[in-house]
Chain A
Amino acid sequence: MVRIKDLPDEAIMTPGHTACAGCGVATAIRNMMKVLGKNTVVYNPACCLMIFTAMYPNMAFKVPYHHVAFENSGACVTGIKRAFKMIGKDDVQIVAIAGDGGTADIGLQSLSGAAERNEDVLYVMYDNEAYMNTGIQRSSCTPKGAWTTTTPIGKVKAGKTEHKKDVPMIMLAHNVPYVAVASVGYMQDFLNKVEKAKNIKGFRYIQVFTPCPTGWRSDTAKSIELARQAVDCGMYTLFEAEGGRMVITKKPKMTPVKDYLMAQGRFRHFTDAQIEEHQKWVNEKWRRDEALAKTYQELYPKPEAGKPKKEAA
């Protein structure tokens, strides 16, 4: 198991980039790259990460970096991997790092294509719950009720009217070798998942929760705390599913969701009734996730040591 204190000092995603103060993405990716190592190619669609690491003549990544467009990460990492297979570079780790909009909305088709073909690539979605790079617009991963610049607090309508799209469950339905959800607030858990994914062949999906103080209207000093709170209150279920076997990796403490919501400006307009409704939804969601994990574990028993893991159906 990877240990944070044993990670190399040398940064593969270097300091000097232009991320906002308190950016959860920068913290997550900087640490993730140390686990992935230098024999890696990074693909990055148009997103915050690209703009704060890859503006010519600067480049924060010390490994090959590739960007083509916004909606095609699944196809682009496929192209690199297949080319590498043909020229004896199959050992190189190909990782797509995309935001929630580039994954859950405009990039979902190409992501699904790559997952269905079980391409041997790692796809990391950093979830800051809106289109932050273009100025905080709603994505399908924005939570219900949240303020964004396209779900403003108006007189007849306020905030996003729908719940968050559950991309990990969509990925699980693709029967890929590895699906995981992590939070930058639980770094050890996140890096364990990265390390595990690194050593699995086939399509791997990791979704990591990364607070955005700029877009969430939250304290830049509290990003990690928020990332923990989201997990602790049950809003964001951390799990991994290797070969379809879904295991909860951090059981929520079910702290009041109100504390998490009220620490952020994007939920400031919530009435007590809305908070109560949100709490009910979280309770329901956790009940569902726990039940799903139980079911998946019954379906795919833990392989005995030394025996090959059971393939997903």
Chain B
Amino acid sequence: MTKRVVTGNYAAAWAAMVSKVKVVAAYPISPQTFIVEHISEFVNDGIMDAQFIEVESEHSAMSATVSASAAGVRTFTATSSQGLALMHEILFTASGMRLSPVMAIVNRTLSAPLNIWCEHSDIMASRDSGWLIVFCENNQEVHDMVIQGFKIAEDERVQLPFAVNLDAFILSHSVEPVDLADKAPVEEYLGPFTPKAGVLDPENPMVVGHAAPPDYMSETRWQLHDALEKSRQVVLEVNRSFAEKFGRDYGGLIEEYRTEDADVVLMTVGTVTGTAREVVDSYREQGKKVGLIKLRYLRPYPKEELRKAVSKVKAFGVYDRAVAFGISGPQFIEARNALYGLNTPLVNFIAGLGGRDVTTGDIGKMFDALLDVAKTGKVKKEVVWIGTRGVSEW
């Protein structure tokens, strides 16, 4: 183990390297580019024994990744924003073929207007593609989730692709101290990649990528859905075994912070969580009973965990760094669906779009609104846009 001060992009690239990935097909896009630059440096310096394919687009990046996975090797790629949108078609192929690549997604705004800064509009638009989806709070978590990603994705009970999300610039370009794992313990932890089904091999010919008539589609869809549902168990097991091996425990699908006796709870995702922790601490000092849930996995969705946590509180807030135009924030759609039937009042907060800072003051406004709901029992506004010129807040 080496402790170094590195960017989130470096942490992701390093984790792919120590996971002994054999093929990386990737295309440059801000702010992800440094991940593939680091990987090509590792390959050219001879410390990573892998094929680095300089494809001509993200569509080809995901296509080559899928086909290399189908050929039976561990694969990794990375992208952002427009790149993920261009990959969109092939995301479904990766999961439909039950392949296990890991991809780092540096979350960036989808155009227009063109904007390279942080937003979750990219991954939220791809959330139903059959991938496991995890969000990270810091660079250590990025590093650890890439390694855990392979462990979970390659598990026989899962066999699905895995997306590790990190906030553009806030993680991708910011340096933090990170424990960078050595190759040997990671190799010992992950073991070799030996997929059981769907491998292209002339010694044992099979089809990877059939056409299928209506007679067979429902069952295929069900198997994928069922595997994603059942991956919850694997996520928890891997969280535990990783903690035992590397000493860091992330809790599971969600992480709760000071929720035990909380009157109101805010659910955050990504780096805003760190800011929200500060606000929770300062509100607690003032005697205000606020708590925090960090949503880690968007897929599989932590439905039961959320219902359990939310049933006890007087108001629940959902933070969104994206917009589902015409309804609310996309995280709010997900949460409200999971919480259907509970009487807890729900409020959606949209903030930080296109890389705008989300300050402790902004988070304070969210908690203040939730405390107001707890006191009055009334939700004045279901979807609240924070810090948007010309739009009233609470």
Is this pair of chains taken from one and the same complex? yes
Binding site for B on A (CB under 8 A): 38-41, 43, 50-51, 54-57, 59, 61-69, 71-72, 74-80, 82-87, 89, 92, 109-110, 112-113, 116-117
Which of B49, B71, B210 lies in contact with A80, CB distance below 8 A?
B71
B202 and A56: CB pair below 8 A?
no
Which of B53, B56, B57, B201 lies in contact with A79, CB distance below 8 A?
B53
Given contacts A51-B211, A74-B60, A78-B53, contact A64 B200 (CB under 8 A): yes
Shortest CB distance A134–B (Å) = 14
A69 and B202: CB pair below 8 A?
no
Report how many residues on chain B are interfacial, defined by Cβ distance under 8 Å: 42
B71 and A84: CB pair below 8 A?
yes
A67 and B209: CB pair below 8 A?
yes
List B contacts of A117 (CB < 8 A). Answer: 53-54
A64 and B67: CB pair below 8 A?
no
B72 and A83: CB pair below 8 A?
yes
List B contacts of A40 (CB < 8 A). Answer: 202
**27 contacts across the A-B interface (CB closer than 8 A):** A38-B202, A39-B202, A41-B71, A51-B211, A54-B209, A59-B207, A64-B206, A65-B207, A65-B209, A67-B209, A68-B90, A68-B93, A71-B59, A75-B59, A75-B63, A75-B67, A77-B67, A78-B60, A78-B64, A79-B70, A82-B51, A82-B64, A82-B68, A86-B22, A86-B23, A86-B50, A113-B55
Which of B53, B69, B212 lies in contact with A56, CB distance below 8 A?
B212
B205 and A62: CB pair below 8 A?
yes
A86 and B51: CB pair below 8 A?
yes
Which of A64, A67, A72, A113 lies in contact with B201, CB distance below 8 A?
A64
Shortest CB distance B19–A (Å) = 14
List B contacts of A61 (CB < 8 A). Answer: 205, 207
In this complex, which of A51, A68, A84, A92 has the most chain B Cβ atoms within 10 angstroms of its Cβ? A68
Given contacts A56-B216, A113-B55, contact A83 B90 (CB under 8 A): no
List A contacts of B61 (CB < 8 A). Answer: 75
Which of A68, A74, A75, A109 lies in contact with B209, CB distance below 8 A?
A68
What is the interface of chain A mostly: helix, strand, loop, or mixed?
mixed
List B contacts of A56 (CB < 8 A). Answer: 207, 210-213, 216
A64 and B208: CB pair below 8 A?
yes
List A contacts of B212 (CB < 8 A). Answer: 55-56
List B contacts of A38 (CB < 8 A). Answer: 202
Give 1 or 0 for each of B183-213: 1 = CB within 8 Å of chain A CB: 0000000000000000011100111111111
List A contacts of B208 (CB < 8 A). Answer: 64-67
List A contacts of B201 (CB < 8 A). Answer: 64, 89
B205 and A76: CB pair below 8 A?
no
**Bound form: Cα–Cα A260–B14 in Å:** 62
Nearest-neighbor residue (CB-CB) of B208 within chain A? A66
Is residue B139 within 8 Å, beta carbon to beta carbon, of the partner chain? no
List B contacts of A92 (CB < 8 A). Answer: 202
Nearest-neighbor residue (CB-CB) of A84 within chain B? B71
A87 and B73: CB pair below 8 A?
yes
